[in-house]
Every structure is written in C-alpha cells, then in structure tokens.
A and B are shown apart, each in its own frame.
Chain A
Amino acid sequence: AQSVTQPDIHITVSEGASLELRCNYSYGATPYLFWYVQSPGQGLQLLLKYFSGDTLVQGIKGFEAEFKRSQSSFNLRKPSVHWSDAAEYFCAVGAGDTGRRALTFGSGTRLQVQP
C-alpha cells in the first residue's frame, strides 16, 4: 500500500523568502503525485500534479515541484512567498492501476507567512 510523509507539520517563512515543502512517498510502481492547498475553512485546490515525463512540474500561483525517483520525493517550491500563500499544503499519491483510484494524503504542512 502506498503512503505519504510530510515531515514538517508547521513552517514559518518571511514574505518574499523562498519556500520548500517536503514530501516523501512510498509506492512500488510509478506514482501519480499531487500537491493540494487548503485555505482556512475551504476545500482543497489542486496546485500541480505529476504523472510522467519532465520531472520538474509547474503549477498555479507560481509553485513548482520536482519528482526525484531515487529519493522517493516530490518537494514543492516557490521562489518568493506572498502573504496569501498562508494555508495548509497536502501532498498526495494516487495509484492509477488500482480499481478505486483514490488518493493517499500526507498529514499536511501548515505554512505561516510573516510580514
């Protein structure tokens, strides 16, 4: 069974600083990987996804993520954080070859942005 680990429960960065959120996954085959963002009291919005091909994936709101198979990682990055980026971020892995195709989520990383 697949699993996802987000080692950082809470991260605080200054506005304008760079950001990297870590995600490690466990899955036997090539995974489908996702990053979602959840603003307070809101649902989940897809930031970006990786299925195959180029290992550097661009998403919305200036985010990008890099798939590293050798490290089983899919870290999310942003060069310059804005105050509106404060939210909770979830990494997820999907197993496209299983019948249910549900996602397995990490426990999330809460991002706080200091002015």
Chain B
Amino acid sequence: NAGVTQTPKFRVLKTGQSMTLLCAQDMNHEYMYWYRQDPGMGLRLIHYSVGEGTTAKGEVPDGYNVSRLKKQNFLLGLESAAPSQTSVYFCASSSGTGRETQYFGPGTRLLVL
C-alpha cells in the first residue's frame, strides 16, 4: 500500500513549456486534490475532484488544467509555464465521507525559469 505517490519529484521548465504532474492513490479514495505551497502562504487549493470524470476549480486555478480519467489518478497540467508557477505541488486524497483525513503525497518541486 503506497498511499499517495507523485511523479516527478523535481522538474525544471523554461517559460512557455508544458508539463503534466501525475498523482496516484491506491486507497480507493473518491476525492483528490491539488495544492500548491509557497513560502509564508501555506497550501492553497488549485483544483479538486469528487470522483472519476469530475473536476472543479479551487482558489488558484488559473494557468492549470486537470483530468481524472481513472479513479486512482489525478493529473495536473501546465500548458504554458510561467515563473509565478514555481512552487511545490502536493496532491492529496480522501474518502469523501465528511470526517475524513486527507492523505498527502511527497510533493513535486517545480522551478520555472
């Protein structure tokens, strides 16, 4: 049982390049989330999903897209990376029962030059 895993762990992009971050969970969770963490700002919600085939915007969705084609996977895409997207990205999942704990992945550190 690996919990929540994220790929890649670290990536450097040039402005304008695109990339996809992959999150996978093996706990059969319905809810999945993408957060970004910036110094002094805690974690902020980018997008989330309440089930396979559904996605919704969080607090800071601009510049990102997501897809949840399979229940266990949640992809975060950057179509045209900008320096402001330099951050650490965390994926999380939960069962969605209402009193659930969110389980976090180890994070992806992204640097956009």
Contacts and interface: CB of A to CB of B under 8 A. Distances in A.
A75 interface: no
Nearest to A36: B104
Interface in A62-107: 90, 94, 96-97, 99-103, 105-107
Contacts of A108: 40, 42
A45 B100 CA distance: 14
A43, A97, A99, A103: most-surrounded residue (chain B CB, <10 A): A43
Interface in B65-113: 90, 94, 96, 98-107
B45 A49 contact: no
B12 interface: no
Nearest to B41: A107
Contact of B40 (A9, A36, A46, A100): A9
Interface in B2-57: 4, 31, 33, 35, 40-45, 48, 50, 56
B8 to A, nearest CB: 15
Contact of A100 (B50, B101, B106): B50
B51 to A, nearest CB: 11
B56 A100 contact: yes
A105 B99 contact: no
B105 A101 contact: no
Interface of B: 4, 31, 33, 35, 40-45, 48, 50, 56, 58, 90, 94, 96, 98-107
13 contacts: A43-B90, A43-B106, A44-B90, A46-B102, A49-B101, A90-B43, A96-B99, A99-B50, A101-B94, A102-B33, A103-B102, A107-B40, A108-B40
**For the complex of A and B, 3 pairs with smallest distance between CB atoms:** A105-B42, A44-B104, A96-B98
